[in-house]
Amino acid sequence: MGCLILVVYGAQRLWERSDRLRRPILLLTMVLLAAGCLKTIARNQDWSSREALLRSGLKTLPHNAKMHYNFGNFLRDSSQPEPAIAHYREALRLWPTYASAHNNIGTLMPQFATAEYHFREAIKYASEHINAHYNLGQLYSETLVLATDRSSFIFTLWLYGG
């Protein structure tokens, strides 16, 4: 932003000092304005929907764990668990200690051991991750692992202020 202010200030100074530079400055300003408008119109396509925005982000930042995590969330919310899992796995490949990605992939795992592993990893990397504690407690309550179930729920209540 500071650079833009300096360029505009310089163009204004040239405009004021030289009559022969006014036409090129005006032409350059119009070209830059038109280019900015065209870029905005093109970028508006990326903002047309949540999916389009996230796909654009993935295209721009394919090695960004948060982009894969966010796209995984979109896919999960769109009832597409398999592609969501793939994006959560990619997020974890890029950032192995990403607690929220571990938690979310755990919610999509049909196998007890895999879900438990991911919830425990989330808790290992973010000990106060309330959703991971809650999900682990839910997993245990569904499978009747009561001793650990109670401790996870109690810890969740403690974290939540209950």
Can you give the pTM of this predicted structure? 0.72
The chain-wide mean pLDDT, for the chain, equals: 88
Are the C-beta atoms of residues 88 and 104 closer than 8 Å to each other?
Answer: yes
Q: What is the DSSP string of 56-97?
A: HHHHH-TT-HHHHHHHHHHHHHTT-HHHHHHHHHHHHHH-TT
Tell me what pLDDT residue 156 has.
62
Query: How does pLDDT run across 105-153, given as a tens digit for each residue?
Result: 999 999 999 999 999 999 999 999 999 999 998 898 887 655 555 666 6
Task: Give the dihedral of Cα atoms 114, 120, 126, 130; nearest 10 deg.
Answer: 90
For residue 78, is pLDDT > 90?
Answer: yes
Under the banding of pLDDT at 50, 70 and 90, the label for residue 87 is very high
